[in-house]
Amino acid sequence: MQINSSLLSAGLSTYQSGQQRVDEAGAAIASNSLPVAGNSQVLAELTEQLVELKVGEHAAQVGARVIRSADEVLGTLIDTQA
């Protein structure tokens, strides 16, 4: 059961970290002004935040998969014990 608890904790932590990244990147994107021609710094910041948004999305998906796997392991352990 200790392994399953660790898996759940790791999955939840990863999911929350990804969600926080998505929240921060989304807020940064929303607060930036629209890029205008010749303003490469605003465009670079927007690109960086879009990358962070995607990284956060992937982290949240990985966390969800870990949680799902931990749930399946717990189900298998319960079936084996019963």
Q: What is the pLDDT of residues 15-35, one digit of tens each?
A: 999 999 999 999 999 998 776
For the cut 60, the answer to whether the pLDDT of residue 42 exceeds it is: yes
Q: How confident is the model at residue 40 (pLDDT cuts 50, 70, 90)?
A: confident
Q: How confident is the model at residue 66 (pLDDT cuts 50, 70, 90)?
A: very high
Task: State the sign of the Cα–Cα–Cα–Cα dihedral 4, 9, 15, 17.
Answer: negative
Segments forming the whole domain that contains residue 53? 2-81
4-23 burial, b at 16+ Cβ within 10 Å, e below that, comes to beebbeebeebbeebeebbe
pTM of the model: 0.77
Total number of domains in the chain: 1
Number of H helices, E strands in the chain: 2, 0
What was the pLDDT predicted at 79?
A: 61
Percent of the chain with pLDDT over 70: 85
